[in-house]
């Protein structure tokens, strides 16, 4: 593969290879000297049109740990503010001869469009409500390292599924690896077509969490709800917020995950977010490793790579 635009298009073998590479990258990142030279001489540009804490910083660290020169494009102070289009911005950066561009954009499909125009490898760091492939890979890595496998596990993805690229990429990836994926949330936030994809749907948390191995919480994506139904935070927490009482319906050794950013007291209670079942901090560590793995895999297809 020349780009990583989504989980769609990756085979279970592609996914397994990336997760194996990421396991090695975890070891590199835990050493005092964290550097490899796979991307020495290469240039990586982070181009984020939407806010990010985890994804942007972990791509920057991943690139640097592999020896690349990393440039973070500051979109907020760029000529995008003067009306320059996505494609003109991308072509301008392309002319500076980067090897890899990592892109986040509010429009689904924007990253695919950009990938058709530029000469370098492109990584999708989230496009609208469409895909966030490196998030799904880091979630699978976290699950695999804790449970030893993904196949056969019951994974309950809970909350605002409708607007979530994380949910979509996770559904594709976890299903490809043989997990039993459930979607749990208010009917207004469950997209049509889940059943056709083999996903069980639940509008009741207790039923949806029963015997789950993994409970994956998602925030309400208010920025994507223009004109639609917006639940109140207090009511959402009462019915769909993960607290210890609701978590008790999952398996005793269930893991709690959240891609971040969290809204404590809305979709997740602090006691659970910071509790013994939580793997939320570990997910962040796995995020750097997975992004190192993705960059290393793409490097094999770069010209003269
Ligand atoms: N999970 C995730 O994509 O977080 P950021 O928006 O902070 O990058």
- Residues composing the chain: 305
Return phi, psi of residue 206, to 5°: -65, -45
Specify the residue with its C-alpha closest to ligand 1, atom 1.
259
pLDDT in 10s for each residue of the chain, 305 residues: 999 999 999 999 999 999 999 999 999 999 999 999 999 999 999 999 999 999 999 999 999 999 999 999 989 888 998 999 999 999 999 999 999 999 999 999 999 999 999 999 999 999 999 999 999 999 999 999 999 999 999 999 999 999 999 999 999 999 999 999 999 999 999 999 999 999 999 999 999 999 999 999 999 998 898 777 778 999 999 999 999 999 999 999 999 999 999 999 999 999 999 999 999 999 999 999 999 999 999 999 998 76
User: CB within 8 A of 113, min separation 6: which ones?
Assistant: 86, 87
Which of 50, 55, 61, 102 has most ligand 1 atoms within 8 Å of its beta carbon, as the pocket-test mutant?
55
Which of 260, 279, 287 has most ligand 1 atoms within 8 Å of its beta carbon, as the pocket-test mutant?
260
First and final CA of the chain: distance in angstroms? Answer: 13
d(CA 123, CA 132): 10
User: Cβ atoms within 10 A of the Cβ of 187, count?
Assistant: 8
Ligand 1, CB cutoff 6 Å, lining residues = 52-55, 126, 135, 259-261
Helical H runs in the chain?
A: 12-29, 54-65, 86-94, 110-117, 133-147, 165-176, 205-209, 233-240, 244-247, 270-273, 280-299
User: Which pLDDT value is given to residue 131?
Assistant: 98
Ligand 1 atom with least separation from CA of 58: 8
Tell me if 132 sits within 8 A of 112, measured CB to CB: no
Dihedral of the alpha carbons of 89, 91, 96, 98, in degrees to the nearest 10? 100
168 is in an annotated binding site: no
Could you give the count of Cα atoms lying within 13 Å of 257 in the half-sphere of its Cβ?
A: 29
User: Which pLDDT value is given to residue 155?
Assistant: 98
d(CA 148, CA 158): 23
Distance 260 CA to ligand 1 centre (A): 6
Q: Rounded to the nearest 5 degrees, what angle is found at the Cα of 141, between the Cα atoms of 54 and 157?
A: 75
d(CA 281, CA 17): 24
Tell me if 61 sits within 8 A of 44, measured CB to CB: no
Specify the residue with its C-alpha closest to ligand 1, atom 5.
52
Q: Is the model's pTM score more than 0.95?
A: yes
Specify the residue with its C-alpha closest to ligand 1, atom 4.
54
User: Which pLDDT value is given to residue 77?
Assistant: 86
User: Which pLDDT value is given to residue 304?
Assistant: 78
User: pLDDT for 185-233, tens place per residue?
Assistant: 999 999 999 999 999 999 999 999 999 999 999 999 988 987 777 789 9
User: CB within 8 A of 273, min separation 6: which ones?
Assistant: 256, 258, 262, 264, 280
Distance 303 CA to ligand 1 centre (A): 30
Ligand 1 atom with least separation from CA of 126: 3
82 is in an annotated binding site: yes
Instruction: Tell me the ipTM for this assembly.
Output: 0.97
Distance 54 CA to ligand 1 centre (A): 5
User: Which pLDDT value is given to residue 192?
Assistant: 94
Strand ranges across the sheet with 69-73: 69-73, 43-48, 100-105, 121-127
Rg (CA), the chain: 19
Specify the residue with its C-alpha closest to ligand 1, atom 6.
52
User: Which pLDDT value is given to residue 305?
Assistant: 62
Which of 126, 136, 287 has most ligand 1 atoms within 8 Å of its beta carbon, as the pocket-test mutant?
126
3 is in an annotated binding site: no
- Residue 285, token pair as written in the block: 């560590």
261 is in an annotated binding site: yes
- Reported for 105-112, long-range contacts at CB under 8 A and 24+ positions apart, including other chains, are 105/49, 105/50, 106/49, 106/50, 108/165, 110/49, 110/86, 111/5, 112/5
Which of 52, 111, 170 has most ligand 1 atoms within 8 Å of its beta carbon, as the pocket-test mutant?
52
């Amino acid at each position: 593969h020349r780009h990583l635009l989504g989980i769609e298009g990756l085979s279970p073998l592609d996914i397994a290879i990336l997760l194996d590479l990421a396991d090695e990258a975890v070891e590199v990142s835990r050493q005092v000297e964290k550097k490899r030279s796979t991307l020495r001489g290469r240039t990586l540009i982070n181009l984020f049109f939407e806010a990010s804490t985890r994804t942007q910083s972990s791509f920057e660290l991943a690139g640097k740990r592999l020896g690349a020169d990393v440039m973070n494009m500051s979109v907020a102070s760029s000529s995008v503010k003067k009306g320059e289009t996505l494609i003109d911005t991308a072509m301008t950066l392309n002319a500076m001869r980067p090897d890899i561009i990592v892109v986040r954009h509010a429009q689904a499909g924007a990253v695919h469009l950009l990938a058709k125009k530029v000469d370098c490898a492109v990584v999708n760091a989230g496009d609208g409500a469409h895909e966030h492939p490196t998030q799904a890979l880091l979630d699978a890595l976290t699950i695999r390292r804790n449970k030893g496998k993904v196949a056969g596990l019951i994974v309950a993805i809970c909350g605002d599924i409708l607007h979530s690229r994380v949910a979509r990429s996770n559904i594709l990836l976890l299903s490809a690896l043989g997990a039993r994926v459930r979607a749990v949330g208010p009917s207004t936030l469950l997209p049509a077509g889940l059943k056709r994809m083999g996903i069980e749907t639940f509008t009741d948390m207790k039923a949806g969490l029963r015997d789950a191995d993994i409970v994956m919480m998602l925030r309400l994506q208010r920025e994507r709800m223009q004109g639609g139904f917006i639940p109140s935070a207090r009511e959402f927490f009462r019915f769909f917020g993960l607290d210890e009482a609701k978590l008790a319906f999952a398996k005793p050794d269930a893991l709690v995950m959240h891609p971040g950013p969290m809204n404590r007291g809305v979709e997740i209670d602090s006691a659970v977010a910071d509790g013994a079942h939580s793997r939320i901090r570990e997910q962040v560590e796995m995020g750097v490793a997975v992004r190192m793995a993705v960059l290393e895999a793409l490097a094999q297809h770069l010209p003269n790579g």
